[in-house]
Amino acid sequence: MRALIDPVPAEVRTPLLQFIDVAEASDDLGRLYVNTFDLKRKCSLYLTYYANGDTRKRGTALVTILEAYRAAGWEFDAQELPDYLPAVLEFSAMSDSEIAAALLSSHREGVEVLRAALEGMDSPWAGVVRAVTLSLPPIDAATRERYLDLINEGPPTETVGLSFLGNLPPFQVREDA
């Protein structure tokens, strides 16, 4: 990995090398990975989660990503969802298509939320995500505003289909049943 990173500009290379140092010294990186990415909402590696939450709109967003892969001549066949950040980064690194850069840029707010959360936790992965953001074009004021809103409010939640319940009193067990 060190040899592959060597030609990368120093500002991007340094945080990646720092992560490699931590990973080599750690004997419990797997547990830390699970505690970070599987148990914290703001540390999701699934990019559509930030803009769509676990709502019906997320399914459409996932299909759109699959269509973007196909339009670039890339067949997604991983066991993960197509919005999984490492998969999107692999697509970006391996594809010559401008679709790859557009796909990653279209989820910039989510990447920034992830970066901010990891930095706030002093996570060893913070530098890796920072390196990703440093390789992207600078964010504009509107993007900054949207990602700050996501940090404060979190992803959307699904309420469709639940409104019929109204204001129900607590359920009680019937004794005659």
What pLDDT digit, counting tens, does each position of 121-176 carry?
Answer: 999 999 999 999 998 888 888 888 888 888 777 777 765 554 444 554 554 555 66
Return the CA Rg of the chain.
20
DSSP letter at 95 equals: -
Cα(127)–Cα(129) distance, rounded to whole angstroms? 5
Residue 1 Cα to chain centre, angstroms? 23
* Residue 62 near residue 51 (C-beta atoms within 8 A): no
Percent with pLDDT over 70 in the chain: 88
Dump pLDDT digits (tens) for 51-104.
888 888 899 999 999 999 999 999 898 899 999 999 999 999 999 899 998 999
Summarised one tens digit per residue, pLDDT across range 94-124 is: 998 999 989 998 999 999 999 999 999 999 9
The H or E element containing residue 58 is helix 56-71
φ and ψ at 27, to 5 degrees? -110, 5
pTM of this prediction?
0.82
Reported as a single tens digit per residue, the pLDDT across 14-26 is 999 999 999 999 9
